[in-house]
Structure 1
Amino acid sequence: MSGYSTKKSQNNCVHLVPGHTSLVIILIAFLVLFAPITSYPADVTLSWEANIEPDLAGYRIYHREDGQIYDYNQPAWEGSDTVCTIYSLNDSIKYCFIARAFDAAGNESGDSTEVCFQESNNNAPTASAGPDRTVDEGTLVTLNGSNSLDPDYTVLSYNWTQKAGTEIFLSDPASVQPTFVAPSVSVTGEALIFELTVEDDGGLSDSDTVIINVSNINQAPTASAGPDQTVKERNTVTLDGSNTFDPDGTVVSYCWTQIGGTPVTLSNTEAAQVIFTAPDVTSEASLT
């Protein structure tokens, strides 16, 4: 417009100098995409700082598609507010926007700083940590996140973390199918819980958990009847089976039987420790 000049300031302002008055318009690059009603239109909200021109009449917003030029005869919006929403834009197209101020005489400023926007169209992935299952202690277990899905077919990153249970070592928490060895558990078993988080290359993520129930495998106990002893006849002898060991927990029963030598009477054949009286012998003898 006649008599106006423009220059950009350090804070992205456009200054207009009509005579001895100043007109300043600032377009803040603050774009908000509201949830579209359908899969195609998108709404973009622009805001800017108020102009200080005394006879300011309002603002006009112009937009263009990527690769095109602005049509200053057709503003996308006009009004006196410092915020506006442009509706029903195609979310597959990149749009750029500028603002201009105009006064009561119809004079219009130059362009503000341009801001551009394009909807990403990125959809969140769906994590799948696999079905819950039961395994035996000591077995090699493979977690499986290969059924995780991203509708955009973008690259997924994987991150496995343990949320509950005896701490185990995962072969590679960032792999699709890490492995670990099921820990030893008590007869009641134990539940291990793992969480898988997947993220696409657009930064969207999803998580899923899987429960691995570890079962105890019953193992035979190791009997210990104590060391061999040498005693005198008629002495009280104690047999000691208390060092008998069961890898699964506690020994639940004992059974002592004599299989050799002069018969003796055991105090309690079902106790860990039993006693008897050494018999009279005519020469050294062994009792088994």
Structure 2
Amino acid sequence: MFDPSLSSWNAILSGYSLNGDYKEAINLFRQMQFQNVQPDRTNLAIILSSCAAMGLLQSGKQSHAASQKAGLHMDNYVASGLISIYSEGKKLETAKQILERLRELDVVCYNAMIAGLSLGSLDEKAFTLFKHMRVKGVMQTQFSFTTILNSCAKLHSELIDEGIEIFNSMQLEHGLEPNLDHHTAIIDTLGQAGRFYEAEVLMDQMPHKDDPIIWEVLLSTCRIHANVGLARRAARELFHLDPQNSAPYALLANIYTSLERWDDARAVRELMTQKEVRKNPGYSWIAGLSMKIKLNP
């Protein structure tokens, strides 16, 4: 094109970003700046999300400068991208300053900051900000709940009940149907806390109980508390739902090994061999059993 319009630049920038080619999106934005094309809120938001996805804080700072030059750094759409890039770069104080300078906060900016606090392992502060959204009457979205529920499993036990209340409020107070991410997060939270009865009740009621991810999360938490009975159930479900996945074999064998149930661990290995399941790299699931055999030849 002899003289491409701003919408044309935005279209190709969006295309690169949507296809995960963030590096090319950043290069194209630099070319756009070289040609003195004035950015708008759309391409600034695209380029900031690309910088955040690649963890390129310096490029994000350059984009921040471009947004200030264009007088768009106080735009909520752009500000949410700035909050994300500084949060990804562990510059949470800078992200917080951007949030506080905005005249009117919307759900996108809140979500970006909550996600940033969670990334920085400041989960209690994320909870505080989540509550602040409610006080200010900002309508929370599916992503708001996904972010805060993912923090629950990392929090102290006294805040787990609060996380469960938040999960229950999705439908009752906000009319939002919990999706797989929400259910997975709350199952992880209950499992991490050793509250397996509640986890099982929820598993039996939820519409996502045929998804392997949620059973693998439950099985992982069974390992923490050596809950063999529930681990066996979760493993059986995974053997059925995802037959060639070696993870449930590894996790179940690790539970048996930690309890020195060597025959059971060996039986899991033999079952895996019978079903011709290949072990994924990274699972040292027979290490404990091998050590026992070496000690007791």
Q: Which has the larger radius of gyration?
A: 1
Structure in which a larger fraction of residues adopt helix:
2
What TM-score does the superposition give when structure 1 sets the normalisation length? 0.23
Which structure exhibits the higher relative contact order, with contacts defined as CA atoms closer than 8 Å and separated by 6 or more residues?
A: 1
Structure in which a larger fraction of residues adopt strand:
1
